Copies of this chain bind each other. A is one copy, B any other.
Amino acid sequence: MSKPQSNEWYERRRQIMEAALPVFAEKGFKGATNKDIGEQAGIAPGLIYHYFKSKEDLFNACIDEFLPIDRVRLPLETMIDVPPQQLLPLLLQGLNAIFQEPKFFLVMRILIAETMRTAEAASRLNVIFKHLVDPFAAYLQAQIAAGRLREGEPVLMAQMFLSSVALFFIRRIIGQDPVLQAMDVDEMARFVTGAFLRAFAPD
């Protein structure tokens, strides 16, 4: 597997990963069997081992392949001149869009579940959150400097805002919380945005 491989090889490999992802999400690493994955992918279970060293290798490859690190990073550094009143709704729309993506959804299910038992998965999830928080904190920092927001610790502001939003989406979409599903996303967005702006408006 160290030799370079043909395009078809990579396509097939990716096809297996795409089939495995929902199986891992639904049943977990231990609960997912190669038989399940093979059926989902339309191949014999043994074929997995032409493309991956082991079930664990396939699992890690799935996460690496579909890990939403880049998807999650919004181009906030180019939007420093956009005032918070406009940017916050955009940010929320972006997050909402990401959470609607089927693969993001699946990888998050897998990562959150595994985070509960392996430090490795926890670390990956922490990295993802950091990729989300850091650019936003930098944006907030710039807004504070520009006098558009009150003085304060931008990292805490970012953590607080993103935490409440992220858990809203997680509980709504993954946790299937009926209370949150009954809520309108736009209404929530307006509410959270308004609260944030009042909380951190300049004195």
Q: Chain A residues in contact with chain B, CB under 8 A?
A: 25-28, 30-31, 109-110, 112-117, 119, 122-123, 125-126, 129-130, 133, 152-153, 155-157, 159-161, 163-168, 171, 174-180, 183, 187-188, 191-192, 194-196, 198-201
Task: Count identical subunits in the complex.
Answer: 4
Smallest CB separation, A155 vs chain B (Å): 8
| Given known A164-B160, A188-B156, contact A178–B126 (CB-CB < 8 A) | yes
| Given known A175-B126, A177-B129, contact A160–B116 (CB-CB < 8 A) | no
Interface pair A28/B160, CB less than 8 Å apart: no
Interface pair B153/A191, CB less than 8 Å apart: yes
Complex Cα spacing A88 to B113, Å: 31
With a CB–CB cut-off of 8 A, which chain B residues contact A25? 116-117
Of the residues B109, B117, B164, contact of A164 by C-beta under 8 Å: B164
With a CB–CB cut-off of 8 A, which chain B residues contact A117? 25-28, 31, 109, 113
Interface pair B200/A195, CB less than 8 Å apart: yes
Of the residues B27, B175, B178, B192, contact of A160 by C-beta under 8 Å: B192
Complex Cα spacing A127 to B188, Å: 21
| Given known A27-B117, A116-B25, contact A163–B168 (CB-CB < 8 A) | yes
With a CB–CB cut-off of 8 A, which chain B residues contact A155? 179
Smallest CB separation, A106 vs chain B (Å): 10
Closest 3 CB pairs of A and B: A164-B164, A113-B116, A199-B199
